[in-house]
Structure 1
Amino acid sequence: MMKSEALLRRARGGWITFPFIIATMGGLTLSSGLCANLITFLRDEFHFEDTDAAKISNYVNGSITFIPIFAAIIADSFAGCFSVICFSSLISLLGVVLLLLSATVSHLRPPSCEKGSILCKHPTPLQAGLLYLGLTLLSIGNGGTRFTLASMGADQLDSTRHQGIFFNWFVFTIYVANFVSSTLMVYVEENRGWGWGFTIFTMANLVGLVVFLCGSKVYRFVKPTGSPFKSLACVIVAAIKKKKMHLSPQSGDYHHDGDGFNSPTPFFKFLNRAAMKNEEESSSKIVSPWKLCTVQQVEDLKRLIKIVPIWISGYILSIPIAVQMSFIIIQGKTMDNHITSHFKIPAATIQVCLLIATCVTISLLDRLIFPLWVKLAPNRPPTHLQRIGIGHVFTILSSIVAALVESKRLSVARSHNLVDQVNAVVPMSLLWLAPPLAILGVSEGFHFAGQVSFCYQQFPASFKSTATAVVGLTIAGAFYSSNIVIDAVQNATVWLPNNINKGRLDNVYWLCSGIGALNLVFFLVCASVYKYHKA
């Protein structure tokens, strides 16, 4: 029976599954692309203030990257990736349909009015409720598929090198779909109407689900092994119960289960007691997992503890990025968006500079820089932490350039006496926002794909789905924390009024660059002492 299962595993999977996984990722990411212009939708159609619209957008983006951790736990514990992806795709489809109704049915949104007018009505409880429900379902559904698809795609491949290549193109696909959302779809929304745009998002979600189901005959299905978090809890409880036991240097005094370990490592020695057998456990064949754990379970918990500082630095790294992306569209709305005298672009479309820079960076790293590095230094291939560290540097640089650009914009607004005019357009090209966004894109090309690959390969085997979702958790935490930063700045300073022409958004960006610099020091310390686990 075991032999036939092994043969079935080898018969399925491989690169033949790649088109299905990537096409599904593209369709589902495109369906959530309405978030690219969500701030404009909330301002123009539901009459939210600029800062409130930015906060709602942060909550949505944060939820899309927070939900994956729960989806991953469910996938790892009992449901498997395939079931979670199917169910989540249906949930996101329902969410997009509700948003489509909000955009097309006049009674489901406030009546039209001129932005800033005292005659603008706020949404009724029914209208707001339907809007929030649609955004919630979209967040849950898209969050349930994004990183679970990454784990399922990696499960189809056997070598770490191929998995690394897959993660590069996985991230590349996300950014290409976001590129389409920020260009073509934003154009459709603002020139053909929100109904047209949301209809396309709905179809993209449906196509993604259908393509995913079409590949079911070639997927390799990895059976869930039960909740890995129970194993971690068992180690902690067992170690506490045996806190008075003296540790033994003898391998035979520890509980093994064919895990390949001789004795527990000295790191966090307190936990080793969880795998140490007492007299009763040595003579008994059946022992409660809450009293005695295997050495493998103990070492799995230690591996996670070692990764935590790296994860924290990734979380802090993402906060300046989230703050910058919260205001980029609001800045763009106050700038001249004419490319020529007859052609102009929507403010949200400027985000494509980030997406293009990320895609180009990932392509160059995968096809040119890393292969060349391996040829020149075959004994010292680039590490994940080196790649992440370079991303830290570019993120700081992006915040500095963003601060300088905003300082220039405010200077132009003051020189033209536009400070007191709400939402006045400053005679300064929207393209000034391109340099900080491009630098930020280079940063994400380094650190985002690096973090996904690092977590997948360094987490214990039982946490493979959870591993990739952990990266999403850092981004989610950053979006939520960026709202805390925004609230704190609003309460302590006058930098962020509703009219950003009267504020000092440049000071917020300088604050972000300082946070990034301190975090870089913390990361370098953590990276210098981290030792890679070799599978």
Structure 2
Amino acid sequence: MKFSVSMKQVLVAVFRNRNLQVRAEPNKPNHNDFKCLDKAAIGEEEHGSKDPWKACTGRQVEEVKQLARMLPMWLTVIIYSVTLAQGGTFFVKQSSTMDKSLGPHFNIPPASTLAIVIIATLIAVSAYDRLLVPIAARITGTERGITILQRIGAGLVFIILAMVIAALVETKHLKIAQAHGLMDKPQAVPISVFWLALPNVVLGIVDAFALVGLQEFFYSQILDSMRSLGVASNLTANGIGSFVSSLFIHIVNNVTGKMGHRWLLDNLNTSRLNKFYWLLVVLNAFNLLAFIFIARRYKYKSLT
């Protein structure tokens, strides 16, 4: 049976059995999360119904519960994805307005700065597996060292750090542009593009924790019958994050434009990109708090 049909049956059965009471079973663990969904499985018990749209199996109910447990976690990925998208957009645009020379005869292509993220990710993943996990395993007494959610949470901390560094680098960029009278001129500012290596390296660490952790979470925590949905959930969250990023930039420009000066212009020397990064720091801080609140209450998958 396709999961989409099964989920619809559970929701319909919950509505049809809304006036029935769930009987407590003394020998069965009593989980308090999404107890309303348990009504989908009591139609057969109470009335001997064989209608799948009125009496669902306990496994069907647990599948929908597991999806409901993961949904809040999925929502926290969107802000993370919005922030991560800046590495491939504004970071590249920043590099085009900086000194890209590497020696007297070679200039670094702006987009190639993204290679720093990839290299940093590879190094960070190796360091995580070979250094952090053994050390954490000795401390916690578990084979994994830290849980999946702790790994994701660490990534969300590092993405805040990445935006703090990016804001400080852009502030330095604007000060140098002002000192050289380039605030209103769309030309390169005499500040090395390698300053952007700092936030890019941290973004690589973010990928080693949050990106890998999210892939593992959505794959391992989804039930076997929904594995393809778990993989799609992670990709969908990243895709929505990229879309929301464009919408978010449009909203920020409209709001700041009404305040007198748009933050994000074609000429970054005139923009206030540093303020935009600080805004992302604040949003990610709230997102981290929401993630911690959800993670502390999350119940790991019990079915196999």
**TM-score exceeds 0.5:** yes
Return the alpha-carbon distance in structure 1 between the equivalents of residues 64 and 245 of structure 2. Answer: 30
For the pair 1:400 / 2:164, whether they are aligned, the reply is yes
CA RMSD of aligned residues (A): 2.0
Aligned residue in 1 for 2:22: 247
Q: Describe the SS at the equivalent of 2:190.
A: strand
Aligned-partner residue type, residue 23 of structure 2: S
Separation of aligned partners in 2, 1:511 and 1:376 = 36
Question: Which of 80, 97, 100 does residue 317 from structure 1 map onto?
Answer: 80
Check if 1:229 corresponds to 2:8: no
User: Which residue is equivalent to 2:185?
Assistant: 421
Corresponding residue for residue 296 of structure 1 = 59
SS of equivalent to 2:89: helix
Q: Choose 269-278 or 343-352, whichever is displaced more.
A: 269-278
Q: 1:333 to 1:499 in 2, by over 3 A?
A: same
Instruction: Give distance in 1, aligned partners of 2:75 and 2:84.
Output: 15
SS at match of 2:8: helix
- Note the C-alpha offset of 1:265: 4.0
Distance between the aligned counterparts of 2:286 and 2:31, measured in 1? 32
The answer as to whether partners of 1:264 and 1:298 remain within 8 angstroms in 2 is no
> Greater helix percent: which structure?
1
Deviation sequence 1:505-525 (CA, Å, 0-9, x none):
111000000101111111111
What's the secondary structure of 1:501's corresponding residue? coil
Q: Is 2:126 the partner of 1:363?
A: yes
Determine if contact 2:116/2:197 at 8 Å carries over to the other structure. Answer: yes
Residues 427-466 of structure 1 correspond to what in structure 2 (within 5 A)? 427-466=190-229
Instruction: Tell me the equivalent position of 2:273.
Output: 505
Q: Is the 8 A contact 2:101 2:108 kept in 1?
A: yes
The answer to whether structure 1 residue 273 and structure 2 residue 36 are counterparts is no
Please give the residue correspondences for 1:57-136 in structure 2 after superposition, counting only pairs within 5 Å. Answer: none
Instruction: Find the aligned partners of 1:520 and 1:280 in 2 and give their Cα distance.
Output: 44
For 1:279 and 1:374, locate their aligned partners in 2 and report how far apart those are by CA, in whole Å. 46
CA contact (8 A) 2:17 2:43 kept: no
Distance in structure 2 (CA, Å) of the matches to 1:444 and 1:240: 42
C-alpha contact 1:395 1:440 (8 A) present in aligned 2: yes
Change (3 A) 1:265 1:245: same
- In structure 2, what residue type is equivalent to 1:409? H
**What SS does structure 1 have at the residue aligned with 2:105?**
coil
- Matched residue type, 2:98: M
**Conserved 8 A contact 2:92-2:111:** yes
Distance 1:532 1:373, change over 3 A: same
**Percent sequence identity over aligned pairs:** 36
Cα deviation, residue 398, structure 1: 0.4
Match for residue 153 of structure 2 among 371, 389, 399: 389
Q: Find the counterpart in structure 1 of residue 283 from structure 2.
A: 515
Tell me if structure 1 keeps the 8 A contact 2:44–2:55: no
Deviation at 1:385, TM superposition (A): 0.7
What's the secondary structure of 1:502's corresponding residue?
A: coil
- More moved, 391-400 vs 309-318: 309-318
Contact 1:263 / 1:295 at 8 angstroms: preserved in 2? no
CA drift of 1:359 comes to 1.0
Provide the aligned length of Structure 1 versus Structure 2. Answer: 297
Residues 297-337 of structure 1, C-alpha deviations (whole Å, 9 max, x = no match): 10111111111222211222222221343211111111111
Contact 1:452 1:468 in 2 (8 A): yes
The aligned counterpart of 1:169 is none
CA positional deviation for 1:420: 2.2
- For 2:299, the equivalent position in structure 1 comes to 531
1:248-295, CA deviations, whole angstroms, 9 ceiling, x for partnerless residues? 2359xxxxxxxxx9687442221111111357852x6xx332121100
Task: Please state whether the residue corresponding to 2:182 is helix, strand or coil.
Answer: coil
Deviations 1:351-403 (A, max 9, x none): 11111111111111123321343245434731001101110111000001001
TM-score by structure 1 length? 0.53
User: 5+ unaligned residues in a row in structure 1: which ranges?
Assistant: 1-225, 252-260
